[in-house]
Chain A
Amino acid sequence: EAAVTQSPRNKVTVTGGNVTLSCRQTNSHNYMYWYRQDTGHGLRLIHYSYGAGNLQIGDVPDGYKATRTTQEDFFLLLELASPSQTSLYFCASSDWGSGDTQYFGPGTRLLVL
């Protein structure tokens, strides 16, 4: 079973604050994804990557940056957090892209006051 971990699991920040969410996968998967989950919207793709140093823009990228530093590590950065970014964030990985099973991390719950 693929292993994807996320940290922190819970985070509270204030409007305008900086937040970094971390994701690590230990199965040598090529693709990694950041999603946000909001009631009524399901999962929406923020950014994704198909390898170290690569970054692709997803469907809801505004206000988010991401960086893939290694094959294992994918970070999501909120440089000026806003209350609209209060959400549950999931990281996922897959071996060869969208036609392959995605393995999800446990999620990070972010509250922006």
Chain B
Amino acid sequence: GEKVEQHESTLSVREGDSAVINCTYTDTASSYFPWYKQEAGKSLHFVIDIRSNVDRKQSQRLTVLLDKKAKRFSLHITATQPEDSAIYFCAASTGGYKVVFGSGTRLLVSP
């Protein structure tokens, strides 16, 4: 079955810098790639997604890039702010009923 790997368990940046979180997946049939954010002590909420018919999607300071040949996708956060500090989960789906999540990347934005 599908496996999703997040390569950085922790990422530390200075406020105002950019952050990049990388994920890889194994199933070439995967077509939907959402990202979720979990702030400390809270639940997860959706932040952005990308589908396999495009290779880039932007929403304000967030950009997702998808490289289907390399089976890799990434979340880019520009002009980071302290409130960006959280655990970010990438996920992938082949379009069936379920989504497979990565293990999470803890992003720390320091002043």
Is B20 engaged at the interface, CB distance under 8 Å to the other chain?
no
Most A CB within 10 A of own CB, among B1, B51, B103: B103
Shortest Cβ distance from A16 into chain B, in angstroms?
29
Shortest Cβ distance from A76 into chain B, in angstroms?
16
What mask results when residues 76 to 113 of chain A are scored 1 for a CB within 8 Å of chain B, else 0? 00000000000000101000011101111111000000
Is A45's CB under 8 angstroms from B89's CB?
no
Is A45's CB under 8 angstroms from B98's CB?
yes
Is B93 engaged at the interface, CB distance under 8 Å to the other chain?
yes
Inter-chain CB contacts under 8 Å: number: 62
Shortest Cβ distance from B103 into chain A, in angstroms?
4
Is B46's CB under 8 angstroms from A101's CB?
yes
Shortest Cβ distance from B8 into chain A, in angstroms?
13
Count A-side interface residues using an 8 Å CB cutoff.
Answer: 26
Shortest Cβ distance from B16 into chain A, in angstroms?
29
Is A75 engaged at the interface, CB distance under 8 Å to the other chain?
no
Is B101's CB under 8 angstroms from A42's CB?
yes
Is A74 engaged at the interface, CB distance under 8 Å to the other chain?
no
Is A59's CB under 8 angstroms from B96's CB?
no
Measured in the bound complex, the distance between the Cα atoms of B93 and A58 in whole Å is: 14
Shortest Cβ distance from B37 into chain A, in angstroms?
11
Is A102's CB under 8 angstroms from B43's CB?
no
9 closest cross-chain pairs (CB), A and B = A98-B93, A42-B103, A43-B101, A104-B43, A101-B46, A104-B44, A42-B101, A99-B32, A98-B99
Please report B residues at the A interface, Cβ cutoff 8 Å.
Answer: 1, 6, 31-32, 34, 36, 42-46, 49, 51, 89, 93-104
Q: 11 A-B contacts, Cβ less than 8 Å apart?
A: A33-B98, A42-B6, A43-B89, A48-B98, A59-B1, A98-B32, A98-B95, A98-B98, A98-B99, A105-B43, A106-B43
Please report A residues at the B interface, Cβ cutoff 8 Å.
Answer: 31, 33, 35, 40-45, 48, 50, 56, 58-59, 90, 92, 97-99, 101-107
